[in-house]
Amino acid sequence: MPYALEDQIGQMILLGFRGTTAEPQSTVLRWIRDCRIGGVYLSENETPMGRTIGNIESPDQLRSLAQTLQSASRIPLFVTLDAEGGQVIRLKERYGFPPTRSAQDLGTRDDVTETQRQSAQLARTLKTVGVNLNFAPVLDLNRNPHNRALNAKQRCYSEDPDVVTRHARVVIEEHHRERIGCVLKHFPGHGSTIADSHLDLADVSDTWSPDELEPFRRLIALGLADGVMTAHVLLRRYDAEQPATLSRVILTDMLRKELEFEGIILSDDLNMGAIQRNFPYEEAVARAVEAGVDIVLNANVDRYDDFAADKTFAVLTEHVKSGRLSRGRIEESFTRIMALKHKLGLE
């Protein structure tokens, strides 16, 4: 069936919201109804961006919430979260979920059978609560022991691209058995940074190396990359002014053309300090889509905004009307998004 421009723009918006239920007059249901958003991002009370009013308190509660949200949307939603394992997992034991192990632990053991077992359990858990898109695995190479965002939280499998690829492949395959998509992150590589992009822009120009692309390149070639999440990093050899999230050279020329990636590109959270401190939100949204981003993510934790969806929807609509963004550009993203939803059985 044909979809209106408003439907297509709405599908490009993925947002965090507050609360463990969705009552009829809730903000998130208004976003689904009025802004036609394509997905939601689930958080807990404690996040890297600070405390919030999260969405998770138990398996039964989360399953009910996901069902309520899906029933309100004409086009099935992406229900997403970060479920990497170890420290970075929103479905924690204290909420009644099974324990998990970190990527660093699994990569150090380098036992693919154990990674497979852990991933199968995680994928089944996600399936039972209605999550259909996991922001994992992390493909960043563990190149800096002082990296606060990654190494300090044991989020990387290894500094070796072969080890990272081997374990990430198993993670993805186990998710696919449950028809759950995976978003590989953070492109083109965040592992050599010191700065935490949750707080400010990270410049990897002097530390990044081309082999950081290898896990992405190999998994894309195997057809295992459903989505790729951008990194808020500055890589001056490719783009002297724009971080990767806003860089057409990195997202379109490198990721799309050189690596031949055909899936969805998601921005990392545009509400993070790396973007928020350097670009007005509305301008960041426009530049991200111009660069090649298909889904704009706003986790909406720090500086929470009840009208985040309205603002994102309005800025994309206005730029189509003004000609800054072509209708064809919107249709490209919409086609990719709907293709993944079809693949995951979201119909």
Q: Which residues belong to the active site?
A: 198, 268
> Is 345 buried (19+), middle (13-18) or exposed (0-12) by CB count in 10 A?
exposed
- Give the span between the Cα atoms of 233 and 310, in whole angstroms: 27
Token couple for 266: 């998601």
DSSP 144-205: -TT-TTTGGGT--S-SSHHHHHHHHHHHHHHHHHTT-EEEEEEET--TT-SS-TTTS-EE-T
Structure tokens at 126: 């996600």
- Name 250's Cβ contacts closer than 8 Å, sequence gap at least 6: 187, 188, 235, 238, 239, 244, 291
Which residue is associated with the tokens 């036992």?
111
Confirm if 140 and 168 have CB atoms less than 8 A apart: no
Taking Cα atoms as reference points, which of 129, 19, 131 lies closest to residue 77? Answer: 131
Strand bridging mode 50-51 / 46-47: antiparallel
| Contact partners, residue 331, CB within 8 Å, separation at least 6 | 8
Whether the Cβ atoms of residue 87 and residue 68 lie closer than 8 Å to each other: no
Bond prior to 186 in cis (omega within 30° of 0): yes
